[in-house]
């Protein structure tokens, strides 16, 4: 699907609908592709009114939604997967809550067996191509 900032809210609703019961979302894309922007729209669509920001330095941010929580991860700054182990990633990933994971390739060996894979590709004119697959 192709998305712009004007259509991102509709895109977010479509992704949530396509996800069904899946709550682990992996986000791939180069720096500046719009991973955090899409996550903001997803969080809004799920009902949070909190200020959504990238957890680049904190690694994980937590947001409340009417039916639970969202954990938003940014593993960009991890040097080793051991850092994710030390932060107790398993408690988050297997909590049954939404987990939105930026830079999942940094923890490839620690990912759950099932997730929604979202790849964002930059196109011309501030458009993004979003590819979604369920693993």
- Closest C-alpha to 18, from 115, 126, 121: 115
Domains and CATH numbers, the chain: 2-134 (3.40.50.300)
pTM metric for this prediction: 0.92
Average pLDDT value for residue range 92-106? 96
pLDDT tens-digit map of 14-43: 999 999 999 999 999 998 888 999 999 999
Q: Which stretches within 2-132 are classed as H helix?
A: 8-19, 35-45, 82-86, 89-93
Percentage of residues in the chain having pLDDT higher than 90: 70
pLDDT tens-digit map of 54-76: 877 788 999 999 999 999 999 99
Confidence class for position 4, pLDDT limits 50, 70, 90: low
pLDDT value for 34:
87
Count of beta carbons in the 10 Å neighbourhood of residue 95: 13
Residue 20, CB-side half-sphere exposure with 13 Å CA sphere: 7
């Amino acid at each position: 699907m192709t998305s712009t900032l004007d259509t991102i809210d509709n895109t977010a609703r479509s992704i949530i609908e396509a996800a069904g019961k899946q709550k682990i979302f992996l986000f791939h894309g180069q720096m500046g592709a719009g991973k955090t922007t899409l996550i903001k729209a997803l969080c809004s669509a799920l009902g949070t009114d909190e200020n959504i920001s990238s957890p680049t330095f904190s690694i994980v941010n937590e947001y409340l939604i009417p039916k639970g929580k969202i954990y938003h991860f940014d593993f960009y700054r991890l040097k080793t997967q051991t850092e994710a182990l030390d932060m107790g990633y398993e408690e988050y990933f297997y909590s049954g809550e939404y987990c939105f994971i930026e830079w999942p390739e940094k923890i490839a060996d620690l990912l759950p067996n099932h997730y929604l894979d979202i790849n964002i590709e930059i196109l011309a004119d501030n458009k993004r191509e979003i590819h979604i697959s369920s693993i």
